[in-house]
A and B are shown apart, each in its own frame.
Chain A
Amino acid sequence: MLSRLRHIPLPALAAAAAVLMATALALVFFYAPLDADQGLSQKIFYIHVPIALTAYACFAWGAAKAFLHLWKRPPGADLESYAAIHQGVIFGALTLVTGSIWARVSWGIWWTWSSNQLVTFLILFLFYAAYFMLRYSVEPGPARANMCAVYALFGVVLIPVSWLSIRLANDYIHPTVFTRHGPQMSGSMFLAFCVSWAALLTLAGTMYRVELAGKRLDDRLRELRELLA
C-alpha cells in the first residue's frame, strides 16, 4: 500500500492535505467538545500529538529507507532517507514548540526535565538533528551514504523508547491519553484527532515528495553542468 502512495500525483496529494487540514480545523473548533479538565487549552492536543506521531513516522520512514540502502542499494534510497529525516526534524521541532506552549498554559512552565516523555523526545530530536552535521561533514559518495544510513538506523531505537517512556516510568506531568483500554476521550474527540493526524501525515508526505523532487532536479542539473563544462 505504501508503494502505491508513491504514484499519487503530487498536486492531488497537496490538495488532499489542504482539504484534510481544513476539515480537521473545523472538527477541532466546531465539533469536538471542550475538555472537562483543561477547557479550551486542550485543543492544542489535536495539533501537538499528531505532529509528534508524524515526526515518529518520518524518522521511522527514514530508517526504513536507510535499511533498504544498506541491504539492496537502490539508487535513490539514501536521498529518500535524508528527505524523510529532514521532515522528521521539522515536525520534531514543531512538537517541542507546540508542546511547550501547551505546557505553559496547562502547568505554568515551558519545560520540565522531570518528565521522561519530554526528555526522551528531545534526545530523539537532537539525535536526528545531528544527522545533518554528520552528512555535511563528509564528501558526497557511497561512504557518506553508508555512514548516514547506519546513523539513521541507530536512531530508530529511540523511537519506541520515546513512545513507551511515558508508560515505563511514572510520569505525573505528561498526560497519557492512549492506554491499553483504548483512547481516553469521547468519540467526537477521537474523530477530530484521527482527521488531524491524517491531515498532518498527508502534509508531511507532500513536503517529502516536494523536497525529493527538488533534490533530484538539483542533482540532475549538477550532472548536466559537469557534462557541458
Chain B
Amino acid sequence: MSASEKYVAAAYLVVFVAVLVWVAIIAAKLARLERDAGELTELARRRAEREAEPEPTAERDEVGV
C-alpha cells in the first residue's frame, strides 16, 4: 500500500473502530440494566409473596379457641 492508501484506510478505520467501541459500551450498559431489572423483579416478587402470606393468628391463641 502507498502512504496515501494507508492514511485513507486509517481515517476510515478510526471511525469504524470508534463506532464498534461505542456499540460495545452500550452492550455492557444494557447487560447491567438487565441485571438490575432482574434484581428488581426478584425484590418485587419477594414483596408480593410476603404480602400474600396469611397474618399470624396470635389473638386466637390468647383467647384459647
> A residues bordering B, Cβ < 8 Å?
25, 39-41, 43-44, 47-48, 51, 90, 93-94, 97-98, 101-102, 104-105, 203, 207, 210-211, 214, 217-218, 221, 224-225, 228
Contact = CB atoms under 8 A, between A and B. Distances in A.
Contacts of B7: 41, 44, 101-102, 104-105
B33 A40 contact: no
Given A39-B4, A225-B40, A98 B11 contact: yes
A119 to B, nearest CB: 21
Given A44-B8, A44-B11, 13 more contacts: A40-B8, A41-B7, A41-B8, A43-B8, A93-B18, A94-B15, A97-B14, A101-B10, A210-B26, A214-B30, A217-B33, A221-B40, A225-B43
A43 B4 CA distance: 10
Closest 5 CB pairs of A and B: A105-B7, A40-B4, A41-B4, A44-B11, A101-B11
Nearest to B13: A101
Contacts of A104: 7
B32 to A, nearest CB: 9
B51 to A, nearest CB: 12
Contacts of B12: 25, 47
A115 B41 CA distance: 56
A102 B6 CA distance: 11
Given A102-B7, A105-B7, A228-B47, A94 B14 contact: yes
Contact of B36 (A44, A47, A97, A221): A221
Interface residues of B, number: 24
A104 B37 CA distance: 48
A102 B10 CA distance: 10
B43 A51 contact: no
A218 B34 CA distance: 10
Contacts of B10: 101
A207 B40 contact: no
Interface string B15-57: 1001100100010011001001100100110010000000000
A173 B31 CA distance: 46
A225 B35 CA distance: 13
A207 B8 contact: no
A218 B2 CA distance: 48
Contacts of B65: none
A47 B15 contact: yes
13 contacts: A25-B12, A40-B5, A43-B8, A44-B8, A44-B11, A98-B15, A102-B7, A102-B11, A105-B3, A210-B26, A211-B26, A221-B33, A221-B37
